[in-house]
Amino acid sequence: MRRRAFVLWIATSVAGLAACRDEATPTPLAESSPVTTPPEPSPLPTPAVAPTATPGAAAATPAPTATPERAMLVSLYFLRDEKLAAVRRPIAPTPRVGTAALTELLAGPTDQEANWGFTTEIPGGTQLRDLAIADGVATVDLSSDFARGGGSFSMRARVAQVVFTLTQFSSVQAVRFLIDGRPVSAIGGEGVVVDPPPGRAAFEDLLPLIFVETPGPGETVTSPLRVTGTANTFEATFMVRLSTVDGAVLYERSAMATSGSGTRGAFDLMVPFEVSQPVDGTLRLWEYSARDGSEVNVVEIPVRLAP
């Protein structure tokens, strides 16, 4: 009896180890061969909340279903006042999340986003031919429309838009460009160098000194509101204010990035607030001028505040 019990114990243990090994095996999510790492938003995925103003059919929040999967928000990088700025749109769950994000980016700003001042330097008609992610590099194949027209600023900006949109995902640190299936070392007649594959650091000059990644404009938010981004301000200090559209200040304090005064640092803040019913609000970030104390490097983001 002891020998039989011992044999049964060994069999049970082996089966348990096999089950654990099966559970630990990740399911690969492929953009296209040879993807080796599933692109995941960072710090996303975030359950999608419909923007205050409907940005159009392509970005509409899917109707709730009985499945546990929900839409996630992805960031798209357009321009505002000739600097990069992020908007966020909901997409349906998909293993090809990078492709979905680029497809939204190439479609350009919605009418509402345009009203908020967002523009794009990516020429209309640009098509995404393919996307592959391997070893931290996203290889994106775009139609020749991408390299059409524009001066040096336009070329750098459109390349930066693609780079920032893809490098929001933790599996991507740099982007390699192909045009109509052919590798290129520079984009357009202005010769924007893209070999070696550029990452975000190549476009510091296109970032505002206070760069907000989340929340995106038009998002419905609850307390505490998480505010993330980067800044390169004097002594890494800046101000944060959350107010209702009628001017009632719900929160106002100074904040700090991890570095400043010539070196860009990150920030990740929690902003508590109280409202009794949904109301439109404004998130405002700025720094005080060391010269005259005026408010400079102002960023304003419209949000919908929910109880």
* Statement to judge: residues 273 and 171 lie in one domain: no
208-218 average pLDDT score: 98
Decide the pairing of beta strands 225-231 and 210-214: antiparallel
* Statement to judge: residues 154 and 248 lie in one domain: no
**Between residues 280 and 40, which one has the greater pLDDT?**
280
Q: Is the pTM above the cut of 0.75?
A: yes
Compute the distance between CA of residue 156 and CA of residue 175 in angstroms, rounded to an integer.
Answer: 14
Q: Which of 152, 178, 206 is the last residue before a domain boundary?
A: 206
Q: Which domain holds residue 80?
A: 57-206
Tokens at 110, concatenated: 């919605």
Compute the distance between CA of residue 19 and CA of residue 186 in angstroms, rounded to an integer.
Answer: 50
**Residues, the chain, total?**
307
Q: Which of 175, 206, 237 is the last residue before a domain boundary?
A: 206
pLDDT of res. 69: 60
Tokens at 38, concatenated: 């599933």
Cβ atoms of residues 239 and 287 within 8 Å: yes
247: CATH: 2.60.40.2550
Please enumerate in sequence order all residues whose Cβ is within 8 A of that of 193, keeping only pairs 6 or more positions apart, or say none.
185, 186
* Statement to judge: residues 87 and 202 lie in one domain: yes
Q: Which of 206, 237, 253 is the last residue before a domain boundary?
A: 206
* Statement to judge: residues 110 and 217 lie in one domain: no
* Statement to judge: residues 167 and 71 lie in one domain: yes
pLDDT digits over 1-21, tens only? 434 433 333 333 333 333 333
* Statement to judge: residues 61 and 201 lie in one domain: yes
What is the residue type of 305? L
**Between residues 168 and 28, which one has the greater pLDDT?**
168
Residue owning tokens 């520079």: 186
| Residue 46: inside a domain | no
pLDDT digits over 145-174, tens only? 999 998 999 999 999 999 999 999 999 999
Cβ atoms within 10 Å of 58's Cβ, excluding its own: 11
pLDDT digits over 222-242, tens only? 999 999 999 999 999 999 999
Q: Closest Cα partner for 147 from 178, 176, 119?
A: 178
* Statement to judge: residues 219 and 171 lie in one domain: no
Residue 222: DSSP 8-state: -
Please enumerate in sequence order all residues whose Cβ is within 8 A of that of 136, keeping only pairs 6 or more positions apart, or say none.
37, 171, 172, 173, 174
Which stretch of 47-56, 123-132, 233-242 has the lowest confidence by average pLDDT? 47-56
The three-state DSSP-derived secondary structure of 68-95 is CCCCEEEEEEEEECCEEEEEEEEECCCC
* Statement to judge: residues 239 and 199 lie in one domain: no
* Statement to judge: residues 66 and 139 lie in one domain: yes
Number of structural domains (the chain) is: 2
| Residue 151: inside a domain | yes
Q: Closest Cα partner for 88 from 65, 110, 69?
A: 110
Q: Closest Cα partner for 36 from 129, 137, 128?
A: 137
